[in-house]
Structure formats: structure tokens, C-alpha cells
Structure 1
Amino acid sequence: MTTDKTGAPTEVNAETDRYTIAVDGKSVGLAEFADRDGQRVFTHTEVDSDFEGRGLATILIGEALQKTRDAGLRIVPVCKMVASYLDKHDEFTDVVDPVSDDIEQWLENR
């Protein structure tokens, strides 16, 4: 089990179109995505403002990206928080695709 910077246990869960992170059983953040042709396009990440500064976004994104890799999907970081995480964690470089005009158009039309 992963703990945040305060030592509180966290749990990351996969849902249909997002990963959520809970602290002590309370959902406090999410990373939204859309799947497309073997790619998982991460569009938005947020953590409840009451829980900022505890490293929850880092835990959430790290686990979401690992689960994406484990599922055999490629990562497309439209979300700035996911892109920032990837800049600091090169262990995912081999499964990251750039955000193309085609992907941006697809997101607008869905």
C-alpha cells in the first residue's frame, strides 16, 4: 500500500474513463482518460484542494501510467500534470506517444 506525505494510506482505482485516488476511503482526486486505438489519452487530472501538497497527484499519475503500461496501451499526455510527471520519470518514455493534431481533433469531436 502506498502512503501520502502525511503517512495516510492511499488507494488508486481504475474506472471506465478515469483513475481515482482515495485517502482513508474518501475519493479525493482523479485522472481522466479516453482510450483510442491502443492509446490511453490522459485529458485531465485534479486533486481536491484540501489535499494538495501531499503528493497525491504524483501517486495517482504514477499508478495510472503503470496500469496503462500493464494493459499494453500507449500513453498520450494531453493533461499538463501527466506531461510534467513524464518529464521527470523517463521509465515510461518507451510507451509515450506525442499529442498530435489528429488526437486533439479526435478529442474535440468525441
Structure 2
Amino acid sequence: MAARVADNPAMSRFELFDAVDESGEEELAGFAEYHLYGNEMAFIHTEVDPRFGGRGLGGVLARAGLDAARDRELRVLPFCPFIRGWIGKHPEYVELVPEGQRARFGF
């Protein structure tokens, strides 16, 4: 079973779920917190439970959150070091960061 990411607007975060065993039962494996303001989504903290580490799930979470921002035509402010670093490794997402803010985030 593949990892699944869902937006939880009530908690202002994208949540990453993954199977914990062969039964397919899902468990919260991580999350990316954000703050919405106008047409901007500021990513402020990302966390993946160490039990799920080393499998690229942080990247799955980052891509899903950034794709959701793109689909909603939101600008992204990557205050979270993980999201900022992930964007740096995937330059096709730099366009989501407002041009006037890119230097601030090292792009």
C-alpha cells in the first residue's frame, strides 16, 4: 500500500499516512504544518516519525503539499527548512515562491 497524504484544514497541516503492517492499517507517519494568509501558504514545520524514516516519505509529503498549493494557485513561503531544502532539490517548484521572496529563502 502506498503512502497517502491528506489536507487537514482544521489543524492547518498536511498529514502523511502509511501502512504499519501487512494488514494495510494506516498510521499517521508525519505532517507538514502550514499557515494560510490570503493567497499565500507558509510552510512552518515538517515532521516524519523516525519509525517511518529512510523511505522518502518526507519527499512524498512535501510534493503533495506543494502540489496542493499549486492547484489552489497559492504562493508558497517555505519557512520550514525541510520544505525549503526539498524545493532547492526540485527547481520546478521554485516558481511557487514569490519572485520578490526567493532571495530570502536562498533561491
Query: Per the shorter chain, which TM-score range?
Result: 0.7 to 0.9
Secondary structure at the aligned position of 1:72 is classed as coil
Q: Does 1:11 find its partner at 2:4? A: yes
Alignment of structure 1 residues 27-66 onto 2, 5 Å? 27-66=28-67
Q: Report what 1:79 is aligned to.
A: 80
How many residue pairs end up in the alignment? 94
Alpha-carbon offset, residue 91 of structure 1: 0.9
- C-alpha distance after superposition, 1:43-80 (max 9, x if no partner): 00000011111101000001110011101101100000
**TM-score (structure 2 length as normaliser):** 0.82
Structure 1: give runs of 5+ residues left out of the alignment: 1-7, 102-110
Runs of 4+ more than 4 Å apart: none
Identity %: 30
**Partners of 1:73 and 1:87 in 2: CA distance:** 18
Secondary structure at the aligned position of 2:55 is classed as coil
Q: Report what 2:22 is aligned to.
A: none
**Partners of 2:52 and 2:41 in 1: CA distance:** 26
Query: Is the CA contact 2:88–2:94 (under 8 Å) kept in the aligned structure 1?
Result: no
